[in-house]
Amino acid sequence: MPRSRIILVSYYWPPAASVGVRRWLRFSQRLAELGHEIVVFTPSDASYPIIDDKLKAPSNITQHQVGFFEWRDVYQKLLKANSKDKSIEKNKIDRVFYEGNTQKNYLKRVALWIRANFFIPDARANWIKPCSQAVLEYLETNQADYIISTGPPQSCHLIAQRVKKKHPELTWLADFRDPWTRGAFFDKLPLSRASLSKHTRLESSVLTESDIQLTVSPTWANELKQLGGKNVHHIYNSYVLADFKASQDLPQDQYVMSHIGTVYKDRSPREFWLALKNYLDENPQIAKKFTLQLVGQISQEVIAELEEIELSPYVKLIGVLGHQDALEILKQSDILLLLVNDTKDHRGRIPAKLLEYLATDKPILLVGPDRSDAKDIIENGLLHFDPSTHDTKKLRTLMEDKMWKTKITRAEKKRYSTEFTTDQLIQLLLEQKK
């Protein structure tokens, strides 16, 4: 691929610690290493739910920060003013956008309705105008070959759309890390008929006007085609080869199961917790050395559920860690737990951590619906527990055999490395220029 200048529009960027950061940070790092010029437009003073101060963008990537008014900051102040808990965290602010009519607090319900109907496509809609203007100003004195938008927030696509209309010579790639109108939480938004129509219209315009439509799984790629995408592809998220060296020998007097990531109430697998508790009750020798490590944000509802089931004595709540520290937890674990909640988009949801789990060569226990792209990736090397079946036999098999390993070859695992996926991205961009 000839050296190119690529404009990337991404709301999430270091020091944000979300999964959405790592996908395009890794792509950008690799592209820059290969000699391409990456120019990233990100917000200044963004309202990121989680910060990782150790996560840095490399110096060979140009970054333009564009300020805008964050509506979430206003809501955070309102919530603090109306709550006895003055230590409201930003991640709790995020949850109001997805809890729909289950919200009991009147202020939260009003805020959710305002967000759903006045901030379309999302709460970062205020960023569309200033960021698109900043990109257009940059292009007045600089040339570029590609513009890439990655969402959510889907506002990033509308920024690229405005730029593309002024500069049709640019090749526009719209990357959907999560679905838009078919996303897990979209139906929970209290949308008016007019607002729903606007979302559908905007999504359709992005799919038909972008040159390339990209997503992270085969199922979601098929859905984008059904919605009108004409040049749809999928490239998986990835892991970095250098992060995973030789495996470590683990102490025989421990049995550690670890989960990395956020666990909210709708992702809490009650039937699995019950099966695990029953197994530990029946096997006191394993129970004595068993620990369930939960790394990340864990909601109070989940903590209460674990206490009710009497799993709390086995649970170690580690909290939010930087990405590299979280990887060390994985390497020092015996079994890795992957939770996939039963939502309408679950079939295409491949948690990015699955690919890093895979790189560790550790046993992986997936808890979730039977049919999914995540399960298909390692069909022959994954223990699966479907909460709806109450089947604990597979759980018992894995818990009693620490030598069980995923049956994926090293060559197959490299297909999910950043080096491999970036090569796929380059080929995709090259084909569009032919």
* Residue pLDDT, tens place only, 101-148: 444 577 778 878 888 899 999 989 999 999 999 999 999 999 999 999
Order of strands across the sheet that contains 383-385? 315-319, 290-295, 255-260, 335-339, 364-367, 383-385
Reported pTM: 0.87
Does residue 277 contact residue 310 with C-beta atoms inside 8 Å?
yes
Is the torsion defined by CA of 139, 142, 147, 152 positive or negative?
Answer: negative
383-399 burial, b if ≥16 CB within 10 A, otherwise e? bbbbbeeeebeebeebb
pLDDT at 85: 40
In three-state secondary structure terms, 385 is strand
Q: Which residues pair with 293 in a beta bridge?
A: 258, 316
d(Cα 177, Cα 234) in Å, to the nearest integer?
10
pLDDT at 99: 45
Residues in Cβ contact with 245 at an 8 Å cutoff, skipping those fewer than 6 apart: none
Residue with tokens 């990835």: 238
- Structural domains in the chain, CATH included, are 5-68+121-238+417-433 (3.40.50.2000), 71-116 (no CATH), 241-414 (3.40.50.2000)
Count of all residues that appear for the chain in the document = 434
d(Cα 254, Cα 287) in Å, to the nearest integer?
10
> What is 279-348 written as a DSSP string?
HHHH-HHHHTTEEEEEES-B-HHHHHHHHHHT-GGGEEEEE---HHHHHHHHHT-SEEEEE----TTGGG
> Containing H/E element for 212?
strand 212-215
pLDDT at position 309 over 70 = yes
Give the residue among 244, 219, 223 at the shortest CA–CA distance from 181. 223
> What is 24-89 written as a DSSP string?
HHHHHHHHHHTT-EEEEEEESS---SSB-TT----TTSEEEEE----HHHHHHHHHHHT-S-S---
**pLDDT greater at residue 395 or residue 405:** 395
pLDDT at 54: 85
The one-letter code for the residue type at 119 is F
Q: How confident is the model at residue 378 (pLDDT cuts 50, 70, 90)?
A: low
